[in-house]
Amino acid sequence: MAEKRNKIKKLKAVDFFCCAGGVTNGFVKAGIKVLGGIDIEAAYKETYEKNNKGAKFIQADIAKLSPRSLHKKLGIKKNMDDLIFVGCSPCQYYSNIQTDKTKSKKGRLLLEDFKRFVAYYNPGYIFIENVPGLDTKESSPLARFKNFLSRKGYVFDEDVVNAAEYNVPQNRKRYVLLATRLHNSIAVPKGNPEKIKTVRKTISSLKVIPAGHRDRSDRKHWAGGLEEINLKRIQHTSKNGGTRLDWKDDPELQLKCYIGKDHTFSDVYGRMHWDLPAPTITTKFHSISNGRFGHPEQDRALSLREGALLQSFSPSYKFYCDSIAIIARMIGNAVPPELAKWIGKSFLKNYQNGAI
């Protein structure tokens, strides 16, 4: 009788758009068995599988993948109550950041493709994470997806959360949706705004390196190189939070596109603050010209390892690739593992105890 009472209900998951394994790693830490991840980028396979033992990487275009094939590849079946489908697609098209949307237009359809798998397998739980703009744009597939969930008998909760309140040393606002068909309610877990990690606490112990540094260590504490003019710019940017306004009146350093536009893209070429969370880590965090990605003190942009730590990947998480740009994309596109861990624990509580 005691043995039956102490039996803990387990959950399994399939991580669609898994990238290098941010959600997978966080779910595993929460106590969820991740069966596998699916992504179109073959370059992510080694990093995903070697860091997440037992999870199988499926390299595939989800638009062309048959839902039925996952039964053979991962052993899942229809109507599994203990199964979570994760659909955190890279959908910059709906971002509030004003950038060229051409390359990401195809991403508008990824939620529709994910919906095919939900319709076929009818899993017990669903997790969606994306940029906040996804839930506000007219004609967004999100509205259709939520209507679909309701018709299928799911209940859901949604919110825009800041990863900084979930043990991630980074201000990263994201739209989150959790759904279940097992209980009458489910809730996006609340974070802890009183317990915020800073840049200093996260990366200050790493060794000092120059711009362009690449060593043989598997930690990937590598930094992008800087042209001479950009090296001068970062050298003239005040330590600990300085901006490009520090050199706006220097005719050699000022960029023509920013003359008279002090408040336009004010973060580019800026340094991070030691005692604040980092800004949102994007796929271009290794470049000072793409945001406030300058090291608080050293004359360079963040290293790959620093970016990974600020995304809450553990120091032991290894990235198996020789391309700085590809690794930066792995890191910047990831759902922070600590945020995923928080979500995973919330699913487990719901599954074990009913509605929470």
pLDDT recorded at residue 133: 73
Reduced to 3 states (helix: H, G, I; strand: E, B; else coil), residue 163 is helix
Quote the pLDDT of residue 264: 85
User: Active-site positions?
Assistant: 91
Task: Tell me whether residue 120 is exposed, middle or buried, using C-beta atoms within 10 angstroms of its C-beta: 0 to 12, 13 to 18, 19 or more.
Answer: middle
* Three-state SS sequence of 267-307: CCCCECCCCCCECCCCCCCCCHHHCCCECCCCCCECCHHHH
Please indicate, yes or no, if residue 58 is contained in any of the structural domains: yes
Per the structure, how many domains does the chain have?
A: 1
User: Comparing C-alpha atoms, which of 70, 69, 19 is closest to residue 40?
Assistant: 19
Domain encompassing residue 15: 11-195+336-353
> CA dist 69 to 44, 81, 172, 233, Å?
21, 20, 35, 53
> Which pLDDT score, from 0 to 100, does residue 97 have?
38
| Amino acid in position 341 | K
25: in domain: yes
Report d(CA 61, CA 78) in Å as an integer: 21
In a domain, 87, yes or no: yes
Position 202 in a domain? no
Q: What is the pLDDT of residue 6?
A: 45
- List the one residue out of 203, 223, 216 whose CA is nearest residue 301: 223
Contact 351, 198 (CB under 8 A): no
Please give the torsion angle defined by the CA atoms of residues 316, 323, 96 and 340, in that order, rounded to the nearest 10 degrees.
Answer: -20
What is d(CA 275, CA 68) in angstroms, rounded to the nearest whole number? Answer: 50
Q: Which pLDDT belongs to residue 8?
A: 67
pLDDT at 11: 98
In a domain, 18, yes or no: yes
- At 87, which amino acid appears? G
CATH of the domain at 114: 3.40.50.150
Residue 209 lies in a domain: no
| Tokens 């060593």, located at residue | 215
What pLDDT was estimated at residue 265? 86
What sections of the chain are H helices per DSSP? Answer: 2-5, 22-30, 45-51, 69-74, 110-121, 141-151, 199-203, 228-235, 304-310, 324-332, 337-353
Encoded amino acid at 66, one letter: S
Give me the pLDDT at residue 102, please: 45
For the chain, 356 residues long, the average pLDDT of each consecutive 10-residue run is 54 97 98 97 98 97 96 97 94 41 52 95 97 65 92 97 98 97 96 96 97 91 97 98 95 92 90 98 97 98 98 97 96 97 97 75
Within-domain flag for 257 = no
> How far is 218 from 323, CA to CA, in rounded Å?
13
Q: How far is CA 1 from CA 6, 7, 226, 349, 351, in A?
A: 9, 10, 66, 22, 21
* Per-state percent for the chain, helix, strand, coil, to nearest 5: 35, 15, 50
| Residue 13: both structure tokens together | 């998951």
Spatial contact of 338 and 296, defined as CB atoms under 8 Å apart: no
Q: Is 338 helix (H, G, I), strand (E, B) or coil?
A: helix
Would 228 be classed as within a structural domain? no
